[in-house]
Amino acid sequence: MSEQDPHALEGALSPAKNAHLYGHKAAEDFLARSYRSGKMHHAILLEGPEGIGKATLAFRLANHILSHPEPSAAPEHLSPPDLDAPVSRQIASGASHNLLHLTRPVDEKTGRVKTAITVDEVRRAGHFFSQTSGTGNWRIVLIDPADDLNRNAANAILKLLEEPPRRSLFLVLSHAPGKLLPTIRSRCQTLRLSPLDDTDLAQALAGLGLPLDGGKTQEMVLGLSKGSVSQALKLLNYGGTEIITAFGEILTAEGPAARKAMHRLADVLSGKDSEVIFGFFLDHLNDHLMDRARQSAMAGDLGAADRQAKLVSEIAEKVGTAQAYNLDRKQTILSILEAAR
- The predicted-structure confidence for 57-84, as pLDDT tens digits, reads as follows 999 999 999 999 999 999 999 999 999 9
pLDDT of residue 322: 93
pLDDT of residue 1: 37
Tally of CA atoms within 13 A in the half-sphere of 250 that contains its CB: 23
Whether pTM exceeds 0.75: yes
pLDDT of residue 133: 59
Give Cα 112 to chain centroid, integer Å.
17
Question: What's the angle, vertex CA 277, arms to CA 275 and CA 280, rounded to 5?
Answer: 110
State how far the alpha carbon of 48 is from the alpha carbons of 77, 101, 228, 311, in Å: 22, 19, 10, 25
pLDDT of residue 7: 73
State how far the alpha carbon of 253 is from the alpha carbons of 4, 131, 262, 282, 339, in Å: 42, 61, 10, 20, 14
Taking the C-alpha atoms of residue 84 and residue 71, their distance in angstroms, rounded to an integer, is 23
Taking the C-alpha atoms of residue 55 and residue 208, their distance in angstroms, rounded to an integer, is 16
pLDDT of residue 3: 43
Taking the C-alpha atoms of residue 33 and residue 267, their distance in angstroms, rounded to an integer, is 51
Q: Which amino acid is at 25?
A: K
- Low-confidence stretches of the chain (pLDDT < 50) are 1-3
Taking the C-alpha atoms of residue 335 and residue 314, their distance in angstroms, rounded to an integer, is 11
Closest CA to 46 of 134, 115, 145: 145
Taking the C-alpha atoms of residue 284 and residue 336, their distance in angstroms, rounded to an integer, is 13
Instruction: For residue 201, give every residue at least 6 positions away whose Cβ sits within 8 Å of its Cβ, in sequence order, or none.
Output: 22, 23, 222, 225, 227, 228, 229, 232
CB 76 within 8 A of CB 37: no
pLDDT of residue 201: 97
Taking the C-alpha atoms of residue 323 and residue 286, their distance in angstroms, rounded to an integer, is 18
Taking the C-alpha atoms of residue 19 and residue 72, their distance in angstroms, rounded to an integer, is 24
Phi, psi (rounded to 5 degrees) for 69: -65, -15
